[in-house]
């Protein structure tokens, strides 16, 4: 028995643990939500992982993103994250893709893994730009690839209000409302599972972006806490592992 995953095997059994080792998961967005999801998957024995992000670390990331520290400022998130994940499991089949996902590049998300040619079993969408998020969700839905998506984790304080369910049944979350509307225009009413929060947000919890910031993705700075964003990522990872360990 591999002692590294011994406690996982004790809990879920050898067969389920072996399924995780054979599974292929893509985490799109390696930030406040995605970094926690990816690390949880690797620590739990997922054998094939692809992480995707175009951004670099900046000081405002340090309150909530794994990999953000005084040594990683200005470095690509997937490079830093990739080195860290390989230290956790040197035998991990890991692909690090430094790319900003748009409609014309969304096929990078679902392309087969280089190591064995297998297509992804699950896509975890941890993207925080709505156009890119919609591109991934629509693309994966049309290919019938299981996708687990993160709705709005910023501007939240209470992790106990986090919920998980089909996009069609989401409540309160403004991002989920907009995603539902755009998905309906694309002919998709349900079939995408997501994590969201029932917490009502305060509209003033954001600040203008520092024009000198090093990030390659420009957006307003939204107030956020690692206790919520990290919980979103862990909830996505938990659902992913449950689904994969149950598959034949």
16 in any annotated domain:
yes
Total domains, the chain: 1
237 in any annotated domain:
yes
- Give the model's pLDDT for residue 208: 40
Question: Which residue segment(s) compose the domain that 119 sits in?
Answer: 9-246
46 in any annotated domain:
yes
Buried b (16+ CB within 10 A) or exposed e, 182-220: bbeeeebeeebbbbbbebebeeeebeeeeeeeebeeeee
- Give the model's pLDDT for residue 218: 52
Answer positive or negative: Cα dihedral of 170, 174, 175, 180: positive
148 in any annotated domain:
yes
Q: At what angle do helices 226-246 and 34-43 cross, to 10 degrees?
A: 40
- Give the model's pLDDT for residue 246: 82
- Give the model's pLDDT for residue 216: 47
- Give the model's pLDDT for residue 149: 98
Q: What is the CATH number of the domain that holds 133?
A: 3.40.50.720
3 in any annotated domain:
no
Over the chain (248 residues), the average pLDDT of each successive run of 10 is: 85 95 97 98 98 96 95 96 97 96 93 97 95 96 97 94 96 94 95 96 50 50 92 98 85
165 in any annotated domain:
yes
Q: How far apart are CA 34 and CA 28, in angstroms?
A: 7
2 in any annotated domain:
no
- Give the model's pLDDT for residue 203: 61
1 in any annotated domain:
no
Helix (H, G, I), strand (E, B) or coil at 145: coil
């Amino acid at each position: 028995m591999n002692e590294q995953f011994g406690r996982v095997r004790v809990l879920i059994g050898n067969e389920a643990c072996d399924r995780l080792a054979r599974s292929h998961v893509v985490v799109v967005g390696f930030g406040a939500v995605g970094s926690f999801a990816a690390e949880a998957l690797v620590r739990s024995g997922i054998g094939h992982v692809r992480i995707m992000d175009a951004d670099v670390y900046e000081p405002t990331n340090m309150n909530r993103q794994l990999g953000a520290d005084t040594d990683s400022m200005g470095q690509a998130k997937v490079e830093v994250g990739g080195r860290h994940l390989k230290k956790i499991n040197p035998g991990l089949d890991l692909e690090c893709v430094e790319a900003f996902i748009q409609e014309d590049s969304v096929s990078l998300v679902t392309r087969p893994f280089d190591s064995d040619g297998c297509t992804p079993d699950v896509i975890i969408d941890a993207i925080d730009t709505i156009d890119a998020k919609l591109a991934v969700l629509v693309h994966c839905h049309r290919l019938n690839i299981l996708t687990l998506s993160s709705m709005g984790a910023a501007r939240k304080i209470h992790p106990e209000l986090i919920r998980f369910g089909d996009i069609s049944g989401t409540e309160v979350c403004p991002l989920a409302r907009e995603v539902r509307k755009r998905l309906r225009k694309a002919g998709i009413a349900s079939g995408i599972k997501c994590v969201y929060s029932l917490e009502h947000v305060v509209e003033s919890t954001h600040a203008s972006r520092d024009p000198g910031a090093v990030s390659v993705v420009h957006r307003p700075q939204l107030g956020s806490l690692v206790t919520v964003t990290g919980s979103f990522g862990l909830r996505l990872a938990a659902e992913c592992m449950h689904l994969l360990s149950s598959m034949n």
